[in-house]
Chain A
């Protein structure tokens, strides 16, 4: 089992609902976030292009954050998700420095926090909060090891890219383009 997410940049309107839903679902303190939206513009008026991406932890298969964590707080978990065990974390920040995606932050309580793919919901058979709320249905979550999953089907049909592949982390977020 290998959990992953696809983000359809053709449909995303950048509304940040994923950010707010994550915040309420996971009690992320106001002013911090586990997911965010990026807007990239290209061209000169009126020849313009824009790409909007909902981004979060890439739950890399080869995660630098897991490798560098001195206490084992950052670890691989259910379906390959990368999680942080809060009470094992000493807040040293090595993982934050190692992450090419800037996906982690230090929680005001002192430990490092990030996207969990809402594994508590996934275990209950529910999609992550961001996926469940997205008004444009531009987020797909699922198991890439299962060729019948909606996610695998979408990745078969559509062109996609991954971010900073040169970092060699083997990320599990796919951006449909």
Chain B
């Protein structure tokens, strides 16, 4: 059978079919403005531009905001000197203008008047709203202790709120970007090499000869510079090996696609180690010099032959051997990519350890074409008094669970807010910034249960996201195009900083986070931690001590510094330093062993879908970031809803038709609020279905996103916790189809 299908992705087609075409010869004259500007715009030159870095995702590409003749924001173009984007923003960054123009934005501070969960608010002035928050925080601080208030944040604005929280006396400051995303790989690479990966990952794709992606759909997740380097690698003829149960975009560009049975990745990784060690294909010199535990590893992987793995992964043993050979031939210019969202099955630290070990065997860490040694610029602090001691730190609150967690866990904050979950502690208040927890955290029901226990929920956001409906106070933040923020400072091949400055005045009655944090601090008597008068002064103080100034940064946007830590790769002059107990790369982890965990990764079979159910696999698409862009006018025009990808065999069994609406129900009986359209495609295995994360908004104030598609968070009621670091594995959920409307009422 040969199926050929053709779809026009990205929007409605040039015909604008959705709107119908305007009748023939309707005599409508183009306006004078259209005649004048019609199809003609002046070019880049001569336009006023202001520097920014993007806030649509965590890659934070630097760019320039251009205004038109009327002084309105027109377009955003990448900054050519920025290594995050090299002058080319991704669709979301380009569509960032939509975040500013979205008429559904939060427009004024709001204070709850009705019961929790009821959408009853009244408008308030900033002064009144902040007074309310300050008094409530003071009350909670006195009654329960400030450590019972948590900050959950994603994005640049959170930096000043973090200062506020520390000054107040809490260190429960969490980003879902850790325990719901990249935490396990950070811990695993830390245990193995002594250092985590952070962002952007120091993968040297630019010079690699072989890139191995395990469940990572690079190119669908637009991690800009990585995608750019991958495209260059394709041009250079580098081999890409993709392991994915779905025929991802990058799978279609790969030399090898391994259509693995979901949840069996560790078996494949062990088989690769077996082949590479037993054939002597590992980097012997590197392994001898820099690693410890090789003999134990060699003995351990003996049973894990490709034939053993075949029975588990369904992958042809010869393909396992061939791909191992491909990696070995490229060594050390080979990258087994650590991925980014890696909280899948609860043994994610161990899977990430297997990835780290494989990289070590192939000698790719610290080598050209493998992983480079990044460098970060140190930014001086604006002077402030020392923070008060914390009565009970997030780690104490965890009480010895998840011993290798390096950062607070957003899921532990949710759990710890529900009475009875912790012996002698309960969170009483949350400040949530730029993080729509209803859709970010697995198991929406549980998140709502926790929220209803809180004495205070403050939500700082630009959009009326679902979480705002549960807030006691809503503080409308202006968008990144209307504000200053802290300097962007991420590690890179060269240290580099970027400035964000307002391109225009904030629309509506909205404010930047730095202003909100400082005003709140002042009202709470913590003003001494925000001793600067203006944010310009705050930035200029730092920049002046970094061989620059605010004035200079406004002109250049991005500043690169020379490296001071030596070469980009290991060399005789730049010998490696491994911050592990043995000061070597730990193939065998004594630290894990001591804590009672497997010192070397073990394959554990995971639960499989029951009859009539399919594993729920979710992922990203290029034009959206999580649930935060679904209402962006420019980006929802590209993709306005997610579809359920169903293999044709499954569709035939269920007699599903292309485009038919279905509701999804999971193993615990949790059903989606809305239906999603079926996309029948060979690109997904018959034992799984796939949806893009971030759709199915229930917030009716999101006029473009409301009710479009389905939310995976409602279907992820089973969470596989990683005992090593507390990550929330979310790929152990199974769904079935409901073809008749289950009549679920959506409380908007």
Binding site for B on A (CB under 8 A): 10-11, 13-17, 19-21, 23-27, 30-34, 36-46, 48-50, 52, 83-87, 89-93, 96, 102-106, 108-111, 113-114, 116, 119-121, 123-126, 132-138
- Asked whether, in the complex, the Cβ of B43 is within 8 Å of the Cβ of A38, the reply is no
Complex CA distance for A17 and B633, rounded to whole angstroms: 14
Interface hit among B26-34, B339-347, B426-434: B26-34
Partner of A44, one of B1, B11, B14, B219: B1
Output the least CB separation between A133 and chain B (Å): 5
Interface residue from B6, B21, B637 paired with A38 (Cβ < 8 Å): B6
A selection of 12 A-B contacts at a CB cut-off of 8 Å is A13-B253, A14-B249, A16-B623, A17-B94, A20-B638, A24-B97, A34-B14, A45-B686, A91-B25, A106-B16, A135-B222, A137-B228
Contacting pair B39 A15 (CB below 8 A): no
User: In angstroms, how far is the closest chain B Cβ from the Cβ of A48?
Assistant: 5
Q: Are B623 and A126 in contact (CB under 8 A)?
A: no
Tell me whether chain B's interface is mostly helix, strand or loop, or mixed: loop
* Residue in B78, B232, B683 whose beta carbon sits within 8 Å of that of A133 in the complex: B78
A36 to B15, CA, bound (A): 11
Pairwise interchain contact B10-A105, C-beta atoms closer than 8 A: no
Given A10-B253, A13-B219, A124-B43: A33 and B75 interface contact (C-beta under 8 Å): no
The docked-state distance in angstroms from the alpha carbon of A50 to that of B77 is 30
Of listed A38, A91, A108, residue having the most chain B CB within 10 A? A91
B residues apposed to A, CB below 8 Å: 1-16, 18-19, 21-31, 34-35, 37-45, 74-78, 85, 87-91, 94-95, 97, 219-220, 222, 224, 227-228, 230-232, 234-235, 247, 249-250, 252-253, 257, 259, 622-623, 633-635, 637-639, 647, 681-686
Residues A37 and B8 in contact in the complex (CB < 8 Å), given A20-B91, A44-B3: yes
Q: Are A120 and B42 in contact (CB under 8 A)?
A: yes
Q: Is the CB of A114 within 8 A of B9?
A: no
B19 / chain A contacts, CB cutoff of 8 Å: 31-32, 108
Q: Are A43 and B30 in contact (CB under 8 A)?
A: no
Taking the nearest CB of chain B, how far is it from the CB of A53, in angstroms?
Answer: 10
A15 and B222 CA atoms in complex are apart in Å by 8
* Given contact pairs A11-B231, A114-B14, A136-B231, A83 touches B2 in the complex (Cβ within 8 A): no
Chain B residue nearest to A10 in the complex (CB): B234
Per a CB cutoff under 8 Å, which of A30, A114, A132 touches B637?
A30
Taking a contact as CB atoms under 8 Å apart, the answer to whether B40 and A102 are in contact is no
In angstroms, Cα B19 to Cα A89, docked, is: 20
The answer to whether B252 and A19 have CB atoms under 8 Å apart is no
| A13 contacts B43, C-beta separation under 8 Å | no
Residue from B250, B638, B639 whose CB has the most chain A CB atoms within 10 Å: B638
- Considering the chains assembled together, what is the distance between the CA atoms of A49 and B234 in angstroms? 16
CB atoms of A45 and B622 under 8 A apart:
no
Give the CA-CA distance A107 to B610 in the complex, in Å. Answer: 51
Indicate if the CB atoms of A19 and B5 lie closer than 8 Å: no
> Which residues does chain B contribute within 8 Å of A137, judged by CB atoms?
88, 228, 231-232
Instruction: Provide the bound-state CA to CA distance between A14 and B9, in Å.
Output: 8
Q: Which of B37, B75, B219, B638 contacts A24 (CB 8 A)?
A: B75
Residues of A within 8 A of B27 (CB): 90, 110
Chain B residues with CB under 8 A of A17: 88-91, 94, 622
Q: Across the two chains, which residue of chain B brings its CB closest to A48?
A: B247
Which of B8, B11, B219, B622 lies at the interface centre, i.e. has the most chain A CB atoms within 10 A of its CB? Answer: B11
A106 and B228 contact, CB distance less than 8 A: no
Contact of B39 among A16, A24, A83, A124 (CB under 8 A): A83
CB distance from B196 to the nearest CB of A (A): 26
- Min Cβ gap A157→B in Å is 11
| Known contacts A24-B74, A91-B28, A116-B39; is-contact A31 B7 (Cβ 8 Å) | no
Contact B22–A106 (Cβ < 8 Å)? yes
A86 touches B39 (CB 8 A): yes
B31 CB to closest chain A CB (Å) equals 7
Residues of B near A85 (CB, < 8 A) are 38
Closest to A52 in B: B249
Please provide the 3 A-B residue pairs with the shortest distance between their CB atoms, ordered closest to farther. Answer: A110-B28, A124-B43, A136-B231
Say whether A46 contacts B247, CB under 8 Å. yes
Beta-carbon contact of A110 and B30 below 8 Å: yes
**Which residue from B6, B45, B76, B257 sits with its C-beta under 8 Å from A40?**
B6
A120/B41 in contact, CB under 8 A: yes
A32 touches B34 (CB 8 A): no
Chain B proximity of A106: nearest CB distance (Å)? 4
Q: Which residues of A contact B681 (CB under 8 A)?
A: 41
Given contacts A24-B97, A133-B89, contact A48 B683 (CB under 8 A): yes
Pair A20/B88 contact, Cβ less than 8 Å: no
Q: Could you tell me the distance between the alpha carbons of A161 and B192 in the complex, rounded to whole angstroms?
A: 49
- Tell me, rounded to whole Å, the shortest Cβ–Cβ distance linking A36 to chain B: 5
Q: Which residues of B have CB within 8 Å of A89?
A: 30
Please report the C-alpha to C-alpha distance between residue A49 and residue B43 in the assembled complex, in whole angstroms. 39
Tell whether, in the assembled complex, residue A120 and residue B26 are in contact, meaning their CB atoms are under 8 Å apart.
Answer: no
